[in-house]
């Protein structure tokens, strides 16, 4: 054993009961091409795509639906799995 301690997450990144949030404005300024929102109350997935004018919702899918969502559209995804409702087959 080398005596090196494993690195831990910085204090502000540890689970403190708070959710880290990055605003769409910050994502847009960084030209992040896509971001997803999982809404646990509505049980939906919203897929957003970057454009010069802002983000556009390009897909909306509910638990129980199977989608091919950007940028991972080569993979079928059951939205309910994201909410823990369904098992992976």
**pLDDT per residue as tens digits for the range 48-79:** 999 999 999 999 999 999 999 999 999 999 99
Question: What's the alpha-carbon Rg for the chain, to the nearest Å?
Answer: 17
82: phi then psi, degrees, rounded to nearest 5: -65, -25
Q: Which residues pair with 44 in a beta bridge?
A: 39, 62
CA–CA distance, 46 with 24 (Å, rounded to integer): 13
**pLDDT per residue as tens digits for the range 1-22:** 445 444 444 455 455 555 668 8
| DSSP conformation class of 81 | H
The predicted pLDDT at position 86 comes to: 78
């Amino acid at each position: 054993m080398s005596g090196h301690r494993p690195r831990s997450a910085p204090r502000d990144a540890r689970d403190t009961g708070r959710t880290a949030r990055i605003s769409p404005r910050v994502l847009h300024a960084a030209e992040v091409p896509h971001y997803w929102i999982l809404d646990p109350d509505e049980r939906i997935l919203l897929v957003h795509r970057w454009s010069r004018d802002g983000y556009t919702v390009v897909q909306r899918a509910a638990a129980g639906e199977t989608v091919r969502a950007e940028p991972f559209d080569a993979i079928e995804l059951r939205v309910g799995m994201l909410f823990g409702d369904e098992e992976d087959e």
